[in-house]
Structure 1
Amino acid sequence: MTNTDLSHPDLYLNRQLSLLAFNRRVLAQAADTANPLLERLKFLCIASSNMDEFFEIRVAGLRQAREMGVGAGGADNRTPQQVLREISERAHDLVEEQYRLLNDEVTPALAEAGIRFLRRNEWTPAQQKWIRGYFETELLPILSPLGLDPAHPFPQVLNKSLNFIVSLEGRDAFGRNSGMAVVQAPRALPRIIQLPPELEGNGAYDFVFLSSIIHAHVTDLFPGMNATGCYQFRVTRNSDLYVDEEEVDDLLRAMEGELASRRYGDAVRLEVAANCPDHMANFLLEEFRLEPDDLYQVNGPVNLNRLLAVCDIVDRPELKYPGFTPGLPAELRHGGDLLKVMRQHDVLLHHPFESFAPVVELLRQAAQDPDVLAIKQTLYRTGPDSAVVEHLVNAARAGKEVTVVVELRARFDEAANIGLANRLQEAGAHVVYGVVGHKTHAKMILVVRREGRRLRHYVHLGTGNYHSRTARLYTDYGLLTADPDIGEDVHRVFLQLTSLGKVSDLTHLLESPFTLHPAMIEKIGREQAHAEAGRDARIIIKVNSLVEPKVIRALYAASQAGVEIDLIVRGMCCLRPGIPGVSDNIRVRSIIGRFLEHTRVFYFANHTEPELYCSSADWMERNFFRRVETCFPLVDGELRQRVLSDLEIYLADNAQAWLLDADGEYQRAGPAAEGPAVSAQQQLLARYAEDG
């Protein structure tokens, strides 16, 4: 072991730049011709959406820190200004690659497949006539163009809305020549419109952009004047909500008030059409108080995410991933009494390869069972028209004690969660909003049932949200168990969330912000001790993000002692693998594929007594110290071995894996010289399809 200072900034990657690198890996899926064509378009849209959130939250936070004079911070010890400068350089390159892919690869390939985005110079007379009618009936009645003069100052522009800056010549109705106007696209209309297939000259899937329709007819909005230029623009604003929870009496009302301000937060990025003249782009920068580095000139729609609608409209299965039916464990395939199965043994579900339906079924049966006295659940994200919420409402109306911990501050789901909180309260459920200063991110259901002279606990614990749609898109584990010790632990955590009282030691569960972080440090240290004693030692960690410096230092120390460490980190990773004398024994990989990798799994070989945990928590400061999180062991040996086998498949992946090097660069893994290509997600789909 060396005497290297394991807290030295050179040993840590910057978290924001690491997140930007993740988005580059997502964008690479759009370039990968092995993916079906419409899925490539979808990845392009996801990359665009990810960039929006990156600027709304990450860049906005850095700008605030810079304005407050915050100095170097974080494990890598960079100043906000240094990070912002590097973000600008990398983000401009990434955006340029986005539009190159769109214009040079994806759009031509779609056109060849009969899915066309028609430019104005390609419209036939019949198409022009139809588009003219659409403009006059759908657009013109609701547009409010705004000529700019002292009485008409620059308008408030909504976050991420589509707008146009228009240059004009000629005098207005009052004899003045303002020279410039702003047109705001109606939010109620789609950004991409399918032309009627029966129209002469049309194919089955011909589309025009709303922006093209406005461009073509913009002069009609300014009678007596001529529009000499019309250019799309979009501004991204700070969207991080701030509520001083210590100072408010009603968190729900405070959140409702704060949501309205999100639309008009400080500007952090300006996107304009590539052909926008410099003087107009500079005018916009001035209006939004932005610098030239904040300007992104794009050759195409300013919001690529809107193209996602095309993937839903186009019915071409051969251009999408093959459909699949999630499997079910053998004992659940024929329905029946789920609680009886849980009494007999634990059930582990691996979504989306296995169905989310048993989780919903647990709530349905509990809501209808006359012997069930109470249901308690945490809700972070659920989605609209949630069957989960429906069963909770039915249970409350049936007179059961229903307690729901709703996290109002789940980013970008705040409004939806306020709505479901109100609905649950109206049904008679007890709704609490977690703990002041700590988001409730744990995923738990507790069903309390009277059985003879005793009460029995039935529990679901998961790594992901109670959201039926994302359960088809995200990989997550969920444990269904009637283990009395785990049930008692979950009962105590719910008591803590509602009563705010102290919880006595939990038997099996680890909990943030109390025991999870010290337990992880202790377990890493235990592997280090095994290695130092000459025993085999191994750690496998699968998380979305690895950022927290103390656990990284512990992993470095374990590596120095000879512990073999494999880290499967989808997104941000601040640890540098492969540094001689520090992290020689650490390997980091990221899996980017059809499904969003979301499972959090922690495996410690522990000599002859292996331990494996699943958790709602990533290895970040917020998850360890500012959130309520749960981490649960798989005590059943067969289930533990099954998850370990899953992890080994991920470690063998050479089709969708990216390998991190010591310099912070990711290289795509390739098939071994004599071996086959291995896709973990495809193998897991095949495995559960065979089982199911």
Structure 2
Amino acid sequence: MPSPPVADEPRYLNRELAWLEFNSRVLDQADDPRVDLLERAKFLAITASNLDEFVMVRVGSLKLQAAGGGGRRDPAGLTAREQLQAVANRCHRHVGRQYKILADDLLPQLAEHRITRVDLNQCSERMKAAAEQHFRGDVVAVLSPQALHDRRFPMLPGLGIHLCVELRGVAELTPQNMPQILPAGEALPGSAQDEDEPQFAVIPLGRTLPRIVPLPAEKPVSDSSADDAGDSSPSPHEPSFNYVLLEDLVSHFVQDFFPGREVVQCKPFRITRNADVELREDGAGDLLGGMEEVLESRRLSDVVRLEMDGSASDAIRNYLMESFYVDPDYVFRMEGPLDLTYLFGLHGAKGFDSLRNETWPPQRSPAVDPAEPMFASIAAGDIMLLHPYQTFDPVVRLIEEAAIDPDVLAVKQILYRTSRDSPIVAALKRAAERGKYVTAIVELKARFDEARNIEWAREMEQSGVQVIYGIRGLKTHAKVCIIVRREPHGLVRYVHFGTGNYNEVTANLYGDVSILTKDEVLGTDATMFFNAVTGSSHPQPLQQLAIAPLTLRSTVLELIRGETERSRQGQKTHIMVKLNALVDKEVIDTLYEASQAGVKIQLNVRGVCCLRPGIPGLSESIEVVSIVDRYLEHARVLYFRHGGDPQIFISSADWMPRNLDRRVELLVPVNDPAIRRRLREMLQLHFRDNQNAWSMQSDGSYERISPEKKQKRVRSQESLYRKAVKAFQGRKGLQPSTQSVFEPHRARE
């Protein structure tokens, strides 16, 4: 028997710190000189966006736990307060590294390639004049400063950029120097205060004005050197993009808002509000109305983080901290521009294709003939689409064709997240308007997509779609669409199962799997599942599908334990799993048990992994890798050797308590042998990646995997794309046109 783990070693890693470790791996892409420059800037923006959501949700949740007592310990043995402290320390280190990469590497390199952030204090008169013209023409009429009295801030939105202005001097109210109509009962800033007392105003920048303000194609004076001190204009053959950020522009001309006053300092700041506001469904008779209240509550929730310019005075810092009641541990002084998501805008700058990734256009599937209906293609055999290497268009096409096909009787679909101008929602509305029986489960509780889903739900209802607003007490996260079609031999169910959302935009960015089938058993199971969800009833036993929160957990545990038992009997065993997150304690314990029985376990976990691999006597046969590359790895795929008769599944569920116990999820078996083979090859390829893969260590840290001497370089995402290209080209090569003469249709004589 293997020896037990050392007693003082925790069996599980902390979820929050594991997530921050993942975001650090994304940040490593921004710090990797092998990555194209604008892609590095985009990765830095992604880490900032990721951290915003983490603070809103996870830190917000910990704050609530700590306020409620916070004595309960997580599986890693930490209380809520201990987690808050550890997270704050890790976040400060992470933010420091973000801004070091930006200041020391990215901004200088971008400037070398003529993408330059302009300092209005050190630029040409031409640039300064253009900035002033934009300010006076487009900015000053939109923005309004607001005086601050007794720390009564206006209701500022979270994640927006605002300017805090420290003022001095008593203003004399005259028609000439009154810049705006003040709210009733308010005095002009400083008019009722002692002249020496710090006085403050705030200018919310809002979301109407673009944050990146282009300036003329001319280099700032500060960038000139002795070698190019003459003509600073760029060559007409070289692209150039100079810009100033909105907060810098307004700060430079801020005196215009306060005539007769001395502006001591004007510094940008940003607040993050707690977004861990959930609906109390036991008291919500109207879910849609309740979700609107949740959105409003989120807008007014407590501030959990304060970010400000690093050079802000202590007076501004203390004033903001005390006004928003922010924990000092969650006050961040930034040595650079706030909200690095502005770098997404730079990534799209025109004329700089050489600084971006080589384009990988999604390929058409060789199994889908664009000249015939999708129903015919699916009838010929199950189809697997590997996104984004293969286009999501067949899924959209299937639903669009169903909307106008006279033989389609019904469409049933779950929508968790969709795009802003969703063609799938449009097709469902069209189908209902044509008299088809259309039912859509729209998950109103999909975090940060609530407002859009409420809008879609209302629009679809107006078109005649039967809309179900999710399920009481659960989030509906399964990805399934069922189309019932009348055919000569009877009714046929065409089904799409997926690991990703019905969002054609993110399907170009997220690695996911789609399976299109008319398998009779899966179609029957899917219909029974859907009807049970919409009818608030217990589903009858299903033949092949497993459902969370009813049977998915037990099925996964049974599959793992099956490999464990076979290993104990001396059989060859193997588990390969691809997930976004592995957090669930019971699943981790079952994997530990399998490892102790000698099962070979390979886990490809993109984000959070609370399991500790490679510990003697506990998890020494478990390997964990994480791949961070140009596409976000989002698919959930499970492989079990199963005594030489491999079982492979796709799923909408990660292995987290929320997915297994508090969400409606699906685990779908893959029945087609060719598709099983393709998925197994994909899993194996990920474990051979030595370019963008990271190996998890037993302490929760990660080491980048590099090829050994003379070992072939393998980048799994690139290999999958090249395979998709080859597959489609092979299809075209096997089916050349047999028509050698073009014969036009002519009008009847």
Provide TM-score, normalisation by structure 2: 0.90
Q: Is the 8 A contact 2:365 2:391 kept in 1?
A: no
**Deviation by residue 1:621-654 (Cα, 9 ceiling, x = unmatched):** 0000000001101111111011000111100001
Q: What is the alpha-carbon distance in structure 1 between the residues aligned to residue 6 and residue 361 of structure 2?
A: 47
Residue 253 (structure 1) shift: 1.2
The 1:198–1:574 alpha-carbon spacing in structure 2 relative to 1, beyond 3 Å, is closer
Residue 107 (structure 1) shift: 0.7
2:385 matched to 1:375?
no
Which of these residues, 517, 530, 539, is aligned with residue 575 of structure 2?
A: 539
Which of these residues, 189, 199, 205, is aligned with residue 185 of structure 1?
A: 205
Aligned to 1:124: 124
Q: Is the 8 A contact 1:7 1:75 kept in 2?
A: no
Amino acid at match of 2:38: L
**Deviation by residue 1:188-219 (Cα, 9 ceiling, x = unmatched):** 11111112449996663111111111111111
Residue 452 (structure 1) shift: 2.8
Provide TM-score, normalisation by structure 1: 0.97
Residue 120 (structure 1) shift: 2.1
**Deviation by residue 1:293-341 (Cα, 9 ceiling, x = unmatched):** 1111001111111221122233321111111221223231443122122
Residue 8 (structure 1) shift: 8.5
Q: What is the alpha-carbon distance in structure 2 between the residues aligned to residue 434 and residue 9 of structure 1?
A: 41
Q: Is the 8 A contact 1:6 1:556 kept in 2?
A: no
Aligned to 2:516: 480
**Deviation by residue 1:33-92 (Cα, 9 ceiling, x = unmatched):** 111111111001000000100100000100110010022333212101111111111100
Aligned to 1:146: 146
Per the alignment, in what secondary structure is the counterpart of residue 121 of structure 1? coil
Which of these residues, 601, 605, 611, is aligned with residue 637 of structure 2?
A: 601
Per the alignment, in what secondary structure is the counterpart of residue 142 of structure 1? coil
2:157 matched to 1:158?
yes
Residue 291 (structure 1) shift: 2.1
Q: Is the 8 A contact 2:59 2:304 kept in 1?
A: yes
Q: What does residue range 192-591 of structure 1 map to in structure 2 within 5 Å?
A: 192-197=212-217, 204-452=240-488, 454-591=490-627
**Deviation by residue 1:643-684 (Cα, 9 ceiling, x = unmatched):** 000111100001000111011111111112221221100101
Aligned to 2:73: 73
Q: What is the alpha-carbon distance in structure 1 between the residues aligned to residue 533 and residue 427 of structure 2?
A: 22
Q: What is the alpha-carbon distance in structure 2 between the residues aligned to residue 652 and residue 531 of structure 1?
A: 24
Aligned to 2:103: 103
Q: Is the 8 A contact 2:5 2:616 kept in 1?
A: no
**Deviation by residue 1:545-595 (Cα, 9 ceiling, x = unmatched):** 000000000000000000000000000000000101100000001000000
Aligned to 2:228: none
Pick the structure with greater CA Rg.
2
Q: What is the alpha-carbon distance in structure 1 between the residues aligned to residue 107 and residue 556 of structure 2?
A: 48
The 1:173–1:676 alpha-carbon spacing in structure 2 relative to 1, beyond 3 Å, is farther
Q: What is the alpha-carbon distance in structure 1 between the residues aligned to residue 81 and residue 582 of structure 2?
A: 23
Q: Is the 8 A contact 2:16 2:58 kept in 1?
A: yes
Per the alignment, in what secondary structure is the counterpart of residue 141 of structure 1? coil
Q: Is the 8 A contact 2:578 2:636 kept in 1?
A: yes
- Greater shift, 616-625 or 385-394, is seen at 385-394
Residue 363 (structure 1) shift: 0.7
Q: Is the 8 A contact 1:463 1:477 kept in 2?
A: yes
Aligned to 2:694: 658
Residue 145 (structure 1) shift: 1.4
Q: Is the 8 A contact 1:403 1:430 kept in 2?
A: yes
The 1:227–1:201 alpha-carbon spacing in structure 2 relative to 1, beyond 3 Å, is farther
Q: Is the 8 A contact 1:59 1:268 kept in 2?
A: yes
Amino acid at match of 1:411: R
- Greater shift, 328-337 or 394-403, is seen at 328-337
- Greater shift, 441-450 or 238-247, is seen at 238-247
Per the alignment, in what secondary structure is the counterpart of residue 672 of structure 1? coil
Q: What is the alpha-carbon distance in structure 1 between the residues aligned to residue 328 and residue 399 of structure 2?
A: 54
2:51 matched to 1:39?
no
Per the alignment, in what secondary structure is the counterpart of residue 700 of structure 2? coil
Q: What is the alpha-carbon distance in structure 1 between the residues aligned to residue 412 and residue 635 of structure 2?
A: 23
The 1:189–1:32 alpha-carbon spacing in structure 2 relative to 1, beyond 3 Å, is same
Amino acid at match of 1:184: P
2:64 matched to 1:64?
yes
Per the alignment, in what secondary structure is the counterpart of residue 625 of structure 2? strand
Q: Is the 8 A contact 2:120 2:252 kept in 1?
A: yes
Identical positions, percent: 39
Aligned to 2:20: 20
Aligned to 2:732: none
Amino acid at match of 1:49: S
Residue 231 (structure 1) shift: 1.0
Residue 2 (structure 1) shift: 4.3
Per the alignment, in what secondary structure is the counterpart of residue 384 of structure 1? coil
Residue 5 (structure 1) shift: 8.1
Q: What is the alpha-carbon distance in structure 2 between the residues aligned to residue 457 and residue 7 of structure 1?
A: 54
Q: What is the alpha-carbon distance in structure 2 between the residues aligned to residue 331 and residue 120 of structure 1?
A: 57
Aligned to 2:170: 171
2:609 matched to 1:610?
no
Q: Is the 8 A contact 2:5 2:617 kept in 1?
A: no
Amino acid at match of 2:157: L
Per the alignment, in what secondary structure is the counterpart of residue 281 of structure 2? coil
Q: What is the alpha-carbon distance in structure 2 between the residues aligned to residue 7 and residue 566 of structure 1?
A: 25
Q: Write out the 4+ residue segments of structure 1 that deviate beyond 6 Å after TM superposition.
A: 5-9, 198-202
Amino acid at match of 2:430: N
Per the alignment, in what secondary structure is the counterpart of residue 51 of structure 1? helix
Instruction: Give aligned pairs, total.
Output: 691
Residue 544 (structure 1) shift: 0.1
